[in-house]
Structure 1
Amino acid sequence: MKAGKLTVKHQVTIPRDVRVALGLKAGDHVVFAIEDGQAVLTKVEKPDPEEEAWFRFTMSQMTEWASPEDDEAFRDL
């Protein structure tokens, strides 16, 4: 089991071995479900168009996390 810590913006980095196991890469979509009191993360192969629009909107509002320097700094997490 892997642990993470929420940022003040309620964000968490998905550990590298989890990303590898699920085949996740930058730009992929995931869905969260609650099962028996636990969160389950699943890769989404084809995102819902409304969810895709929401994702694009939220990313456009969080420009402080969208720099090449940030990508490089968090690449190995």
Structure 2
Amino acid sequence: MKKILWSLVITVIIFFFNIWLIVPIISNIGYSSVESSYHLVTHSLLLSLIFLVIFCASLILERFNENNKKYDEN
């Protein structure tokens, strides 16, 4: 239950981070008012999701490398 609550809290933090930081940056790139009203938040969430997946994958690979070094030493 604790992991589910942490996941929910992190999801909410990522959403508000998107709304306050990523959306204004993307809106200055060149969205028109019609495009931004429908797609701006979706595109910012997708962009953040891409970077989040890359970050998590790098953490997982780093942890695997640490475990492999421990087993190689023994």
Band of TM-score, shorter chain? under 0.3
Q: Which has the higher contact order (CA 8 A, sep 6+)?
A: 2
Higher strand share: 1
Higher helix share: 2
The alignment's TM-score, normalised by the length of structure 2, stands at 0.27
For the pair shown, the structure with the greater C-alpha radius of gyration is 2
